[in-house]
């Protein structure tokens, strides 16, 4: 008898717990269906930092106010934007986003994701037509051909699925340039003029000769072998993994990177003590006591990493053309499938990525290179866009031509892991811890561990 | 039967009081445990945002794990553990012996006990990040050594196998020696003072006293410390993970078993991760069995006595 009472009690407690978990979604589902014709009251935006929020607050005309902790922005019609921010580190952002997207269908109307952001490294995962988590822009009522005609073509390609249906849009565009120290240029070349220095770094062969000059005076050309990686990896001709295949194909260009990096490192053109990027040593290499001549960075890199790490006088840096055009990064805005606020989402995407005036304002306030071809051409010719940090130089003059020439590398859903693990496996080789074949083996092991569906790695002959 | 019903039984209250624990254990431990074992027989992971499986594959996961570098990572884990454990047990024994020696009259014992325990209270990941910054190639340790003139080139601590492994060992040592010291002190204080006095009267030096009196008498606790430390070492994760960015650099030589497990979980590979967990579960289970044996009658005489008593009672097993 007693046993039975206990059993009943336990069952009741367990059931109560289970029901409590389901309660919120279960009860709201009904209201979600009735409201589907009108707009919901809450717009949920998933992102990894406050970059998008600050820009939206600054330029979106419908914004009324933002709470002090930055989690809720109220629009003029009373709709609330809820910001759900998870850091990118260790894949936390994607984990949380994936979890939420998989529950999207069952979530209450106000809990559904309406907008989420993605980066170039993993945008392909979310634009996949089969997964269908990001709405095609045409379904929202945006026609990419007319509404987004002024955007750079490669950003549109990046945000499209394999059939070419655009499923996202961006306000920024990340042409990579070469940023160098004026004082070192003066010391070595006798001039710090961007055009003259640009001549010295115009392609890899010239740059190598220049590196020798720099070395003679005791300077490093770049900080780390990882600095040049994006230039190579953004110009590959085949995706890392072709659609529907389970083989990682390593592009010959990537192997060129390995070969050149090893050569440059051994020759002393790179600082041996700096391993990889975004670590303490790399940040220090941007300081005034470092011997590093240049960095290869996109506009956000200059604003977010170089500027905060520089401890000398302002105006010590200048921008010039890179040895090869490339793109690094970029945040894409997607409308989540199943959103209950399609009108708001459409309005936000258009306002943030298609309005030339808004984009130019973002460029002025945040130094972003924005996604408007005609606007950026104007900026390149307009001296009000000159930067104090770059000693009064108008960097748009160099960004704009790079942006126009970017051939975006074909993407795959495995890019993030491939890029990360490849660099990691081969840094052991660069440092002389393992030989070349062992580094290849390590990459194969690591990539198969990260992506269980990968069966083989093909190396170029 | 009748007799039982008449007596007042308080046993039910015991069950009611432990009920919350069992409910929590059932929901949060037992069900996930069974699920882990179940999924280890399935192919079940996520590719992008698409879920693959679960498809039943039998022992496939177990077999492919044996074919992978799992044993190498087990070796790494063992090496990292040994590097940390040897200094830890030596220092802990020494400190425990000093702190409990009444003739030394160390002042501020309580204070030191707190201080040596403190590193254990820091989050391991924060500790690892601190070390990562301190021992980076252009970090403070290298600058100090260079300004002292001891070295001319910065040492690449985290770029070499020995450097990385010793740093992990050092951190584990710093974090755990306080804990071990306190445990061993309790063990030494459990030894009757009469024995120490008697040996002093017989003219023992303190070294002899340590080796012939203290050490043999705290053997059960020492064994317990060893085994729990091995089990803890098997699960070593946060320190090497943070220090090497999750990659077990260089050349995967500081990749521990749990880091290996974690890299499977990046793609939500519940099948493989489950199989690896089951392997770890079996190893921990065996080790636990040893602990159980040791804490329940390491004293062979007592065991023999108990056996005799049981035999006398007449073949009643348990």
What is the per-residue pLDDT across B102-134, written as a single tens digit (0 to 9) for each?
778 888 888 988 999 998 888 888 888 899 888
Distance from CA of B47 to the nearest CA of A (A): 7
Q: What is the pLDDT of residue B317?
A: 38
Rounded to an integer, what distance in angstroms lies between the CA atom of residue A389 and that of residue A383?
14
CB-CB under 8 Å, A450 with B267: yes
pLDDT at residue A195, rounded to an integer: 92
Spell out the SS3 assignment of chain A.
Answer: CHHHHHHHHHHHHHHHHHHHHHHHHHHHHHHHHHHHHCCCCEEEEEECCCHHHHHHHHHCCCEEEECCCCCEEEECCCCEEEEEECCCHHHHHHHHHHHHHHCHHHCCHHHCEEEEEEECCCHHHHHCCCCCCECCHHHHCCCHHHHCCCCCHHHHHHCECCCCCECCECCECCECEEEEEHHHHHHHHCCCCHHHHHHHCCCHHHHHHHHHHHHHCCCECECCHHHHHHHHHCCCCCCCECCCCCEEECCHHHHHHHHHHHHHHHHCCECCCCCCCCCHHHHHCCCCCCCECEEEECHHHHHHHHHHHCCCCCCCEEEECCCCCCECCCEEEEEECCCCCHHHHHHHHHHHHCCHHHHHHHHHHHCCCECCHHHHHHHHHCHHHCECCCCCECCHHHHHHHHHHCCCCCCCCCHHHHHHHHHHHHHHHHCCCCCHHHHHHHHHHHHHHHCCCCCEEECCC
Cβ–Cβ < 8 Å for A189, A197: yes
What confidence score (pLDDT) does residue A206 get? 93
Q: Do A452 and B154 touch (CB under 8 A)?
A: no
State residue A26's pLDDT score.
Answer: 36
Which of A284, A427, A449 is closest, CB to CB, to B264? A449
Closest residue to B49, CB basis, from A133, A273, A451: A133
What's the pLDDT score for residue B68? 86
Helix%, strand%, coil% for chain B, nearest 5? 70, 5, 25
Identify the closest residue of chain B to A282 by CA–CA distance.
B138
Question: Angle at Cα B179 formed by Cα B176 and Cα B181, nearest 5°?
Answer: 105
The Cα A67–Cα A74 span in angstroms is 8
Contact B137 A274 (CB under 8 A): yes
Helices (H) and strands (E) in chain B, counts: 17, 2
Distance between CA atoms of B52 and B46, rounded to whole angstroms?
A: 6
Q: Is the peptide bond before B198 cis (omega within 30 degrees of 0)?
A: no
Which residue from B minimizes the CA distance to A11? Answer: B23
Backbone φ, ψ for residue A355 (5° rounding): -90, 115
CA dihedral A300, A305, A310, A313 (to 10 degrees): 20
Instruction: Report the SS3 class of residue B101.
Output: coil
pLDDT of B8 reads: 78
- Say how far apart CA A400 and CA B26 lie, in whole Å: 62
For chain B, what percent of residues have pLDDT higher than 70?
91
Does the pLDDT value for residue B2 go beyond 60? Answer: no
Measured at the CA of A409, the angle between CA A148 and CA A413, to 5 degrees, comes to: 90
Contact A53, A83 (CB under 8 A): yes
Which of A131, A438, A452 faces B269 most closely, judged by CB atoms? A452
Strand order in the sheet with A177-181: A294-297, A177-181, A317-320
Could you give the CA distance from residue B249 to residue A103 in angstroms, rounded to a whole number? 37
Q: What pLDDT, on a 0 to 100 scale, did the predictor assign at position B109? A: 85
Q: Are strands B50-56 and A80-85 parallel, antiparallel or unpaired?
A: unpaired
Q: Angle at CA A257, nearest 5°, toward A255 and A259? A: 70
Predicted structure pTM score = 0.81
**Residues pairing with A65 in the sheet:** A74
- Which residues, 6+ apart, have CB-to-CB distance to B158 below 8 Å? B132, B135, B136, B137, B164, B167, B243, B244, B249
What are the Cα distances from residue A358, in Å, to A174, A349, A353? 18, 12, 8
For testing the chain A interface, which of B145, B250, B272 should be mutated: the one with the most A CBs within 10 Å?
B250
Cβ contact B156–A434 (<8 Å): no
Q: How far is CA A406 from the centre of its chain?
A: 16
Interface test with B, best of A290, A449, A455 (most B CBs within 10 A): A449
Please answer whether residues A344 and A43 qualify as being in contact, where contact means their C-beta atoms are separated by less than 8 angstroms.
Answer: yes
CB contact under 8 A, A2 and B12: yes
Distance CA A407, CA A116 (A): 25
Closest Cα in chain A, distance from residue B298 (Å): 38
pLDDT per residue, tens digit, chain A (461 aa), is 455 555 555 555 544 444 444 433 333 333 333 344 567 889 999 999 888 898 898 889 888 888 888 889 999 988 999 999 998 877 789 889 988 998 888 888 888 999 999 998 889 889 988 888 999 999 999 998 888 989 998 899 889 988 889 999 999 889 999 999 999 999 999 999 999 999 999 899 999 999 999 999 999 999 999 999 999 998 898 899 988 888 999 999 999 999 999 999 999 999 988 888 888 889 889 999 899 999 999 998 888 889 899 998 888 999 999 999 898 888 999 999 999 899 999 999 999 999 899 999 888 888 789 999 999 988 888 888 888 888 889 989 999 888 888 888 888 888 888 988 999 899 889 988 889 999 999 999 999 888 888 899 999 87
Q: Residue B54, preceding bond cis, omega within 30 degrees?
A: yes
**In this predicted structure, what is the pLDDT of residue A1?**
44
Q: Give B145's contacts in chain A (Cβ within 8 Å).
A: none
SS3 B55: strand
Contact A128 B160 (CB under 8 A): no
Give the C-alpha distances (Å, rounded to integers) separating A51 from A37, A85, A98. Answer: 31, 11, 21
Residue B42 to residue B62: CA distance in whole angstroms? 11
If we measure between CA atoms, which residue out of A278, A171, A282, A267 comes closest to residue A211?
A267
Q: Where in A24-182 does DSSP place strands (E)?
A: 42-47, 63-66, 72-75, 80-85, 113-119, 177-181
CA distance A183 to A186: 5
**B252 touching chain A per CB within 8 A:** yes
B62: confidence class by pLDDT, cuts 50, 70, 90 = very high
Residue in B165, B162, B180 with CA at minimum distance from that of residue B88: B180
On the question of pLDDT at B55 being above 90, the answer is no
Segment B232-245, tens digit of pLDDT: 899 899 899 988 88
**Gyration radius (Cα) of chain B, Å:** 25
- Grade residue B155 by pLDDT with cuts at 50, 70 and 90: confident
A35-39, A306-310, B62-66, B270-274 — which is least confidently predicted?
Answer: A35-39
Q: Which residues partner with A335 through β-bridges? A: A115
- Closest to A145 measured CA to CA, from A127, A172, A164, A130: A164
The three-point CA angle B266-A158-A40 to 5° equals 75
Going by pLDDT thresholds of 50, 70 and 90, the confidence category of residue B299 is low
Nearest CA in chain A to B159: A431
Q: Decide if A389 contacts A366 (C-beta within 8 A).
A: no
Using pLDDT thresholds of 50, 70 and 90, give the confidence band for residue B292: confident
| Tokens found for residue A431 | 């440092």
How far apart, in whole angstroms, are the C-alpha atoms of residue A160 and residue A200?
Answer: 37
Q: Cβ distance A301 to A328 under 8 Å?
A: yes
User: Coil, helix or strand for B272?
Assistant: helix
* Shortest CA distance from B26: residue in chain A: A14
Tokens found for residue A423: 């660099």
Task: Transcribe A310-330 into DSSP letters.
Answer: --S-TT-EEEE--SS--B---
Q: Which residues of A touch B138 (CB under 8 A)?
A: 273, 280-281, 284
- In A125-209, DSSP assigns E strands to 177-181
Q: Do the Cβ atoms of A273 and B161 come within 8 Å?
A: no
Q: What gap in Å lies between CA A334 and CA A128, rounded to an integer?
A: 12
Average pLDDT, chain B: 85
Provide the pLDDT for residue B311.
56
| Confidence at residue B315, expressed as pLDDT on a 0 to 100 scale | 39
Cα Rg, chain A, nearest whole Å = 25
Q: Number of A:B CB contacts under 8 A?
A: 90
Residue A426: half-sphere exposure toward Cβ, Cα within 13 Å = 20
Start-to-end CA span in chain A (Å): 76
User: Contact A296/A322 with Cβ under 8 angstroms?
Assistant: yes
CA of A450 to nearest chain B CA: how many angstroms apart?
Answer: 6
What is the structure's pLDDT at A179?
94
Gap from B317 CA to chain A (nearest CA, Å): 28
Q: What is the 3-state secondary structure (H, E, C) of A242-310?
A: CCCCCEEECCHHHHHHHHHHHHHHHHCCECCCCCCCCCHHHHHCCCCCCCECEEEECHHHHHHHHHHHC
């Amino acid at each position: 008898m007693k046993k039975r009472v206990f059993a009943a009690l336990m069952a009741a407690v367990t059931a109560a717990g289970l029901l409590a978990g389901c309660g919120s979604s279960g009860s709201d589902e009904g209201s979600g269906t009735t409201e589907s014709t009108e707009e919901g009251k809450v717009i949920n935006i998933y992102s990894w930092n406050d970059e998008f929020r600050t820009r939206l607050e600054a330029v979106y005309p419908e914004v009324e106010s933002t709470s002090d902790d930055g989690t809720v922005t109220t629009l003029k019609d009373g709709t609330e934007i809820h910001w759900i921010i998870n850091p990118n580190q260790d894949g936390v952002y994607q984990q949380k986003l994936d979890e939420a997207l998989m529950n999207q269908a069952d979530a209450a109307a106000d809990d559904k994701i309406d907008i989420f952001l993605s980066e170039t490294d993993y945008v392909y995962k979310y634009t996949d037509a089969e997964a269908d988590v990001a709405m095609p822009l045409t379904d929202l009522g945006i026609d990419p051909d007319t509404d987004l005609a002024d955007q750079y073509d490669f950003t549109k390609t990046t945000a499209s699925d394999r059939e070419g249906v655009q499923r996202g849009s961006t306000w920024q565009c990340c042409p990579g340039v070469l940023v160098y120290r004026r004082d070192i240029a003066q010391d070595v070349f006798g001039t710090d003029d961007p055009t003259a220095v640009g001549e010295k770094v115009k392609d890899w062969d010239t740059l190598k000769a220049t590196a020798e000059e720099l070395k003679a005076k005791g300077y490093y050309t770049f900080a780390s072998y990882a600095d040049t990686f994006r230039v190579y990896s953004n110009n590959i001709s085949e995706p890392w993994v072709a659609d529907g295949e389970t083989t990682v194909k390593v592009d010959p260009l990537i192997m060129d990177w390995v070969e050149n990096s090893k050569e440059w490192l051994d020759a002393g053109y790179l600082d041996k003590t700096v391993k990889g990027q975004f670590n303490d040593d790399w940040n220090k290499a941007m300081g005034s006591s470092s011997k590093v001549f240049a960095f290869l960075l996109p506009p956000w890199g200059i604003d977010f990493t170089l500027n905060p790490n520089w401890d000398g006088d302002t105006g010590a840096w200048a921008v010039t053309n890179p040895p090869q055009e490339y793109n690094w990064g970029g945040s894409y805005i997607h409308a989540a499938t199943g959103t209950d606020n399609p009108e708001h989402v459409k309005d936000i995407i258009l306002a943030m990525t298609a309005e030339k005036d808004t984009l130019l304002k973002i460029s002025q306030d945040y130094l972003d290179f924005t996604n408007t071809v005609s606007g950026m051409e104007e900026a390149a010719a307009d001296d009000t866009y000159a930067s104090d940090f770059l000693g009064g130089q108008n960097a748009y003059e160099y960004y704009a031509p790079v942006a126009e020439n970017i051939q975006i590398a074909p993407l795959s859903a495995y890019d993030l892991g491939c890029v990360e693990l490849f660099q990691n496996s081969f840094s052991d080789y660069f440092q002389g811890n393992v030989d070349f074949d062992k580094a290849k083996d390590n990459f194969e092991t690591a990539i198969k561990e990260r992506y269980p569906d990968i069966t083989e790695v093909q190396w170029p002959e | 039967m009748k007799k039982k019903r008449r007596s007042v039984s308080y046993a039910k209250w015991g069950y009611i009081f432990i009920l919350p624990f069992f409910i929590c254990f059932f929901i949060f431990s037992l069900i996930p445990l069974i699920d882990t074992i179940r999924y280890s027989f399935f192919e079940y992971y996520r590719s992008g945002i698409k879920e693959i499986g679960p498809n039943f594959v039998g022992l496939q996961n177990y077999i492919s794990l044996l074919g992978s570098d799992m044993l190498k990572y087990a070796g790494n884990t063992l090496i990292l553990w040994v590097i940390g454990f040897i200094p830890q047990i030596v220092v802990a024994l020494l400190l425990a012996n000093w702190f409990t020696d009444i003739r030394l009259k160390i002042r501020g014992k309580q204070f030191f006990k707190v201080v040596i325990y403190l590193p254990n209270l820091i989050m391991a990941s924060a500790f690892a990040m601190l070390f990562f910054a301190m021992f980076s190639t252009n970090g403070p340790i290298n600058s100090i050594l260079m300004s002292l003139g001891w070295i001319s080139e910065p040492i690449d601590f985290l770029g070499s196998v020995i450097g990385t492994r010793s740093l992990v060992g050092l951190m584990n040592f710093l974090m755990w020696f306080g804990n071990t010291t306190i445990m061993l002190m309790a063990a030494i204080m459990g030894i009757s003072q009469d024995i120490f006095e008697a040996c002093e009267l017989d003219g023992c030096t303190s070294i002899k006293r340590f080796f012939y009196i203290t050490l043999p008498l705290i053997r059960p606790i020492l064994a317990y410390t060893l085994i729990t430390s091995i089990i803890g070492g098997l699960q070593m994760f946060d320190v090497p993970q943070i220090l090497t960015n999750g990659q077990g650099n260089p050349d995967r030589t500081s990749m521990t078993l749990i880091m290996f497990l974690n890299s499977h979980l990046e793609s939500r590979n519940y099948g493989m991760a489950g199989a690896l967990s089951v392997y770890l579960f079996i190893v921990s289970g065996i080790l636990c069995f040893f602990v159980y044996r040791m804490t329940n009658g390491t004293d062979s005489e007592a065991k023999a006595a108990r056996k005799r008593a049981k035999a006398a009672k007449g073949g009643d097993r348990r």
